[in-house]
Amino acid sequence: MSGRLGRRSFLAMAGAASAIAAGSALLGRSAQVRSQGSPAATAPSRLRSSGGRLELDLVAQDTKVAIPGGPSRALTYNGLLPGPLLEAEPGDAVRIELVNRLSRPTNLHYHGLHISPGGSADNVFVSVAPGASHSYAFTLPADHPAGTFYYHPHYHGTVADQVFGGLGGVFIVRGALDQIPEVRAAEEQVLFLKDLPGEGGSRAVGMGMMLGREGAVLTVNGQVNPALTIPSGGLLRLRIVNGSNARFWRLALEDHPFHLIATDGGAIEAPVELPELLLAPGERAEVLVRGERQGGRYRLLNLPYARGAGGMMGGMGSRMGMGMGRGMGMGRGMMGSGSEQQTPVPIATLNYAGSVTPLPLPERLLPVEPLPAPVRRRRFVLNHGMGMVFLINGRGFDHGRIDTSVRLGDTEEWDLVNDGVMDHPFHVHINPFQVISRNGTPEPWRAWRDVVLVRPGETVRVRTRFDDFAGRTVYHCHILDHEELGMMGTLEISA
């Protein structure tokens, strides 16, 4: 591990004891109060920019880990699961030395950041061979929105295995959202969600990849059922990242609604109250939770969610629809994928501790600028072909082909059409988009996103503008097994 990190590896080598110690050091008050035996949720080991610079080494390696019921080894950055929490501000210069100690090629993608897709910035065409390293260097634009972003490997052919194996981490950009007084008053906690294969569970290949591999062990910041605390009257701000290969996380907190304040690309205009929160792979959300109960323990649950399945079995036709996928767990079992969650699973526990003068929710957040009328409309049809292939507009991924050419500065509308029987969360690099409508129904409020779930039979219309950066990048299904099996296209942005 690089000496520059200077942080202890709290999870990889350690059990609960040192996890608690590290958590206390990092989180101060909120981690001091614990109860009921579960370890206090630690923030991932944190690296902040200073003097306008964020510099670090990230060593991708196979590491021994201690996760109750989980695997004994995982792929990590710097021995940490999740990787270090990176934090920067708009205008900061970022330098990351990626060292590949894995047995296959890798690279890094800065999911959601609005930076250049070329050179040594967010260039997913870079290949870092085993034993080699690569120097990433980029500057965050001075007007980069504040938000919760996500770094993970993106080398086509190894990305799904490496993410499923454990790689990934959170990249926070701090800015205007963090300055809103009510938001600032909240205790902050990152929740990096990842499912890992169970003890001795294989990293399945083959049919399991059709639906996308899920692991049986649900972790939050690499921990099983950690404790969160909130004072009566207080506010807890959760920055939630779905770092899974294929699992959708459908979250509900007992007796507490979520107050959504940010989506993938940062703040929305005003909080939206939600009884539950569905996050597809790669998706992020920030929510406020009010300490509106007098005390007690409340479980943060992951509820069952069926991503569709039916039609994949033996060519039973492609139009069996969503009803078939739901409750038909045998579909997935037969395909040999890792798990099928049928009941709510507690993934963290919220404990009340102390009380404060009640804190209000913010009334307004930040403006979300509407985009101008599009100069062009395109259509992207998502489906699978015969056998193990997933396609966009009938074609599987080819990095040597340009699928979509756009002009820098243009606003476009894209219709994302799911013609198959499984959910496909569609993701675009570099520029965020706004959802305009789903099957013709206008989206109720504006938000910046970079992942949108497109369900079977659905057409989702999104609007985006290709701002600032020319170059070649990609869009794809963020069920990474689908991406590997072809559901990705190239996007060329030219000046």
Which residues of this protein are in contact with Cu ion, per CB under 5 A? 111, 424, 429, 477, 479, 482
Residue nearest to ligand C2O (CB): 111
463 binds, among ligand C2O, Cu ion, none (CB under 5 to 8 A by kind): none
For 366, the token pair is: 């930040």
Give whichever of 359 and 479 is closer to ligand C2O, judged by the CB atom.
479
When CB distances are held under 5 to 8 angstroms depending on the partner's kind, the choice from ligand C2O, Cu ion, none that residue 7 binds is: none
Alpha-carbon distance of 140 to 469, in angstroms, equals 12
Of 434 and 473, which CB lies nearer to Cu ion in the complex structure? 473
DSSP result, 442-472:
EPSS---BSEEEE-TT-EEEEEEE--S--EE
Smallest distance from ligand C2O to CB 152, Å: 6
479 binds, among Cu ion, ligand C2O, none (CB under 5 to 8 A by kind): Cu ion
Q: Is the Cβ of residue 366 or residue 480 nearer to ligand C2O in the bound state? A: 480
The minimum distance between CB 395 and Cu ion, in angstroms, equals: 15
Tell the residue number behind the tokens 């591999």, with chain if given: 213
For residue 64, which phi and psi values (nearest 5 degrees)? -75, 135
Burial 62-75 (b: 16+ CB within 10 A, else e): ebebebeebbeebb
Q: Are strands 235-242 and 187-196 parallel, antiparallel or unpaired?
A: parallel
Q: What is the nearest approach in angstroms of ligand C2O to the Cβ of residue 89?
A: 22
DSSP classification of residue 233: T
Select 146 or 487, whichever has its Cβ closest to Cu ion. Answer: 487
Burial (Cβ within 10 Å: 0-12, 13-18, ≥19) of residue 90: middle
Rounded least distance, CB 488 to ligand C2O, Å: 8
CB 384 within 8 A of CB 420: yes
Amino acid of residue 268: I
Instruction: Closer to Cu ion by CB, 111 or 256: give it.
Output: 111
State the Cα–Cα distance between residues 9 and 18, nearest whole angstrom. Answer: 9
Q: Which of 280, 246, 131, 173 is nearest to 485 (CA)?
A: 246
| Residue 424 touches which member of Cu ion, ligand C2O, none, C-beta under 5-8 Å by kind | Cu ion
Residue 477 touches which of Cu ion, ligand C2O, none (Cβ within 5-8 Å per kind):
Cu ion
Q: CB nearer to ligand C2O: give 109 or 438.
A: 109
Return the number of the residue (37 or 400) whose C-beta is nearest ligand C2O: 400
Partner interacting with residue 209 (select from ligand C2O, Cu ion, none; CB below 5-8 Å by kind): none
| Chosen from ligand C2O, Cu ion, none, partner binding at 8 (C-beta under 5 to 8 Å by type) | none
Residue 324 backbone phi and psi in degrees, to 5: -70, -40
Residues that bind ligand C2O (CB under 6 A): 109, 111, 152, 154, 282, 427, 429, 474, 476, 478
267, two tokens: 């703040």
Q: CA 30, 36, 37: angle at the middle one, nearest 5?
A: 90
Give least dist CB 295 to Cu ion, A.
Answer: 41
We find the least distance from the C-beta atom of residue 237 to Cu ion, in angstroms, to be 24
Would you say 111 or 239 has its CB closer to ligand C2O?
111
Q: Which does 476 bind (CB under 5 to 8 A by kind): Cu ion, ligand C2O, none?
A: ligand C2O
